[in-house]
Amino acid sequence: ARLPWQAGAAFFFRHLLDGDPASNTLSWRWVAGLQTPGKTYLARRSNLEKYMDPEQISSLSNGLAAFENPQSLPPELVGKSPMTCTNEQVDTLTLSDGDGLWIHEEDLAVENSPLAKHVFSTVLVTADVDSWKNHAFPNSKIDWISAALHDAGIRAEQHWQVSTRVETKVAHVNMILQWAKFHNLQQVVTLRPDVGPLNDSLPALHASLVDAGIRLILIDRPEDLQIRQFASGGFFQFWKLTQKKLFADSIASVSSKPQQLWIDFPQ
């Protein structure tokens, strides 16, 4: 029963249609007691029998004894990784005649970002197909993400009124380089992806573009820069500090609990 928390994180990231590497990892660190040291959410036999399908429980009955009295690691044995992305270099974007916009699956609402009013000569929307393969995404998840990418492409083309290409079959590093060369771009501009597989691929992309004399410009959303410093504990602590920072003028009229955000995703 002593499975590593990474096993649960990997399973959920693989199968959740909208599984996000950052929030998914954080959720499982929280369950394991790494994000809030000493506060764990252990799997207990009583909860498994209460919430799982009876047929599933009966097929796993031989292993239920291991969950009678689960024990967590003592807090002093659990290390907490330092925060990341707090001191990233902030790129500045200057207008040039050869700017291309790269949209990736980490942020598909670029028309509602600091880049909304920038002039681009072309737009490319790519999938992180290498990550899809490495994490063995099922077809249902690939289809869902692909639909979202195509939707982002439609919105981008309507917003910037330029040629927009959506590519969900070719590795994005090679695709971006080919696209940038074809359009004689001086700069490839994108919103910075957060911690995860796509972010890990940036050094290789940067190197390939530099060799071709092309700049990679990573732009941060202002709200990300403002609240990232608060991501040092559990969710409710984060929400409380974020609420104080972003909604100070209307704090009296805002519920102390997180508000639901309704987002329409492609069917």
List the one residue out of 156, 177, 147 whose CA is nearest residue 103.
Answer: 156
Tokens describing residue 164: 């927009």
Q: Where are the domains of the chain?
A: 5-77, 99-220, 227-253
121-155 pLDDT, tens digit each: 999 999 999 999 999 999 999 999 999 999 999 99
227 confidence band (pLDDT: 50, 70, 90): confident
Architecture of domain 99-220: 3-Layer(aba) Sandwich (3.40)
Could you tell me which of 183, 227, 228, 192 has the C-alpha nearest to residue 93? 192
For residues 68-86, average pLDDT = 65
Q: Does 81 or 116 have the greater pLDDT score?
A: 116
> In this structure, are residues 209 and 177 in contact, taking their beta carbons and an 8 Å threshold?
yes
State residue 246's pLDDT score. Answer: 72
Token output for 150? 């195509």
Length of the chain: 267
pLDDT tens sequence across 24-46? 887 887 777 776 766 777 788 88
3-class secondary structure, 126: strand
Residue 112: closest CA among 244, 218, 223: 223
Q: In the predicted model, is pLDDT for residue 61 greater than 70?
A: yes
First to last CA, the chain: 37
Q: Is the pLDDT of residue 234 over 80?
A: no
DSSP-based three-state secondary structure for 261: coil
Amino acid letter, residue 10: A
Strands of the 187-191 sheet, one edge to the other: 164-167, 122-126, 99-103, 187-191, 215-219
